């Protein structure tokens, strides 16, 4: 008998969005059964030696939701609250995300239950390498390609790529994306998710009758996604009036100096240490009166508890499932335009795809080409979703899910059920 796996709010949200799409598409019951389920998942418990000579055992996961359209693709999260249920939900989001922008990938997610900030760099390296070894049964350039997520970045991807390459006996750059450029990473990958968000957010503002130049924006979370989003919104002429990290945020009605905040974070500081603006809490940030709100931290930040107080006109979900379905109903009622996660934050997986292609071909593109192709994919994806939403009287999320689920269903159907 297998132990029951506890659900999570995020898994409930993932299943809710799929169920709505399945119903709207009148999907065949057999396809609903297959696509609602996780294809494959691995739980590992593994020891790591700490710097003081003691040992700790950590738990990690790798989950593949669906691989009908191509190898599995998805991030690796190092976070103390990581659960198998969340990995399942996030793997499902990856399947739909790849499909909605037309990438030949399935969806995966993984991670380790750990607070990486509490580890030294050598402990993080040993943890990453041992975890990579433990899940190496599942991952590889044709099977499942990890990328960064919360708590991981280019350095962890370098250790993962190196570990897999040591096992193979030769370099396998296409096994991981989000690597440093020095070992085959793509130009433009670090800012790719933010660039994608900035591209679709500007279009969503225009669609809501708001000129992006001079529009006000608040960004929650100032990590890889949040910081690049804030920079690119400012570069596009928007006034970034509030940003935050896990320790709180800052606000300035006249606009923040995003470069100064980025430098502060790079030096290891916290956003709340920034003296040249007013302090505010994450809850206050989410309910500011702004044209654009971009949550780029964790799931379920906008819920029934605060949705009625949200005053943004447009929300672009940088973080997956940042807005839960109950909150979405309230916000839709208030005419807030929501660009859903599977579209808004797809820029990261788009440039991960470019990185994988460059690695397989051993032929590298200039940053300008990467950014131009990224903008093109995001603009095309947004356009297709908006056109469908308008034609069929759907929300952008419903339209995005219908496009994505239909593509994956079609691939599953034409491949058939083996044997
Ligand atoms: P990260 O670890 O680099 O940054 C996370 C940021 O959120 C940090 O600034 C952290 O302080 C902040 N944060 C954490 N808890 C918070 C809270 N309660 N309130 C406010 N801020 C808080 O992670 P990331 O890679 O930037 O990912 C952010 C989100 O975007 C995640 O939900 C991730 O799944 C999603 N995402 C990431 C990528 C990518 O390419 N990295 C792509 C798509 C989606």
Report, in angstroms and rounded to the nearest whole number, the Rg of the chain calculated over CA atoms.
20
Closest CA to 155 of 124, 132, 134, 130: 124
Ligand 1 midpoint to CA 34 (Å):
30
| pLDDT (0 to 100) of residue 3 | 42
Q: Identify the CATH number of the domain in which residue 268 sits.
A: 3.40.50.720
Q: Are residues 251 and 284 in the same domain?
A: yes
Q: Is pLDDT at 34 greater than 90 in this prediction?
A: yes
Ligand 1 midpoint to CA 298 (Å):
6
Nearest alpha carbon, ligand 1 atom 8: 223
Q: Are residues 238 and 279 in the same domain?
A: yes
Best of 9, 83, 224 for a ligand 1 pocket test (most atoms within 8 Å of beta carbon): 224
Best of 111, 226, 231, 261 for a ligand 1 pocket test (most atoms within 8 Å of beta carbon): 226
Q: Are residues 269 and 149 in the same domain?
A: no
Q: Give 109-144 pLDDT, tens digit per residue.
A: 999 999 999 999 999 999 999 999 999 999 999 999
Q: Are residues 161 and 199 in the same domain?
A: no
* Residues noted as catalytic: 109
Q: Give 37-48 pLDDT, tens digit per residue.
A: 999 999 999 999
Nearest alpha carbon, ligand 1 atom 22: 246
In a domain, residue 123? The reply is yes
- Determine whether the shortest distance from the Cβ of 298 to ligand 1 is under 6 A: yes
7 band by pLDDT with thresholds 50, 70 and 90: confident
Ligand 1 midpoint to CA 102 (Å):
24
- Determine whether the shortest distance from the Cβ of 196 to ligand 1 is under 6 A: no
Q: Are residues 143 and 48 in the same domain?
A: yes
Domain membership of residue 123 as a residue range? 39-169
When the pLDDT of each residue in the chain is averaged and rounded to a whole number, the result is 97
Report how far residue 350's alpha carbon sits from residue 209's, in angstroms, rounded to the nearest whole number: 28
In a domain, residue 405? The reply is no
End-to-end CA distance of the chain: 26
In a domain, residue 251? The reply is yes
Got the DSSP string for 86-106?
HHHHHHHHHHHHHHHTT-S-E
Look at the chain and count its residues. Answer: 419
171 band by pLDDT with thresholds 50, 70 and 90: very high
Report how far residue 133's alpha carbon sits from residue 131's, in angstroms, rounded to the nearest whole number: 5
Q: Is pLDDT at 319 greater than 70 in this prediction?
A: yes
Q: Give 215-256 pLDDT, tens digit per residue.
A: 999 999 999 999 999 999 999 999 999 999 999 999 999 999
> What residues form DSSP beta bridges with 292?
217, 314
Q: Is pLDDT at 412 greater than 60 in this prediction?
A: yes
| pLDDT (0 to 100) of residue 6 | 67
In a domain, residue 64? The reply is yes
Give the strand pairing for 216-220 and 239-245. parallel
Report how far residue 76's alpha carbon sits from residue 62's, in angstroms, rounded to the nearest whole number: 8
| pLDDT (0 to 100) of residue 31 | 96
Q: Give 43-84 pLDDT, tens digit per residue.
A: 999 999 999 999 999 999 999 999 999 999 999 999 999 999
| pLDDT (0 to 100) of residue 5 | 54
């Amino acid at each position: 008998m297998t132990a029951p796996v506890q659900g999570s709010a995020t898994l409930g949200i993932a299943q809710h969005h799929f169920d709505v799409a399945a119903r709207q598409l009148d999907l065949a019951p057999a396809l609903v059964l297959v696509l609602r389920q996780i294809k494959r998942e691995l739980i590992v418990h593994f020891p790591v030696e700490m710097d003081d000579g003691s040992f700790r055992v950590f738990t990690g996961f790798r989950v593949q939701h669906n691989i009908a359209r191509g190898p599995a693709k998805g991030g690796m999260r190092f976070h103390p609250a990581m659960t198998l249920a969340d990995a399942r939900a996030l793997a499902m989001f990856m399947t739909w995300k790849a499909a909605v922008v037309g990438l030949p990938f399935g969806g995966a997610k993984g991670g380790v239950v750990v607070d990486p900030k509490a580890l030294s760099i050598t402990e993080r390296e040993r943890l990453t390498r041992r975890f990579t070894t433990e899940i190496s049964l599942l991952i590889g350039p044709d099977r499942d390609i990890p990328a960064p997520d919360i708590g991981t970045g280019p350095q962890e991807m370098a250790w993962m790529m190196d570990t897999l390459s040591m096992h193979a006996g030769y370099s396998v750059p296409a096994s991981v994306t989000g690597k440093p450029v020095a070992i085959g990473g793509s130009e433009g990958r670090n800012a790719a998710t933010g660039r994608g968000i900035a591209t679709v957010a500007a279009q969503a503002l225009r669609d809501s009758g708001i000129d992006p130049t001079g529009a006000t924006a608040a960004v929650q979370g100032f990590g890889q996604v949040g910081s690049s989003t804030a920079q690119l919104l400012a570069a596009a002429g928007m006034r970034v009036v509030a940003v935050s990290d896990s320790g709180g945020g800052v606000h300035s009605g006249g606009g923040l100096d995003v470069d100064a905040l980025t430098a502060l974070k790079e030096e290891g500081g916290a956003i709340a240490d920034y003296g040249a603006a007013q302090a505010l809490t994450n809850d206050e940030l989410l309910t500011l009166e702004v044209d654009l709100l971009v949550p780029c931290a964790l799931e379920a930040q906008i819920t029934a508890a605060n949705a009625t107080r949200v005053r943004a006109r447009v929300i672009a979900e940088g973080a997956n499932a940042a807005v839960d379905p109950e909150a979405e109903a309230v916000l839709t009622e208030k005419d807030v335009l929501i660009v859903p996660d599977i579209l808004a934050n797809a820029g990261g997986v788009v440039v991960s795809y470019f990185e994988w292609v460059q690695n397989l071909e051993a032929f590298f593109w200039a940053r300008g080409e990467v950014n131009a192709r990224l903008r093109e994919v995001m603009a095309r994806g947004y356009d297709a979703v908006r056109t469908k939403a308008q034609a069929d009287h759907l929300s952008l999320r419903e339209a995005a899910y219908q496009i994505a689920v239909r593509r994956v269903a079609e691939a599953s159907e034409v491949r058939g059920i083996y044997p």
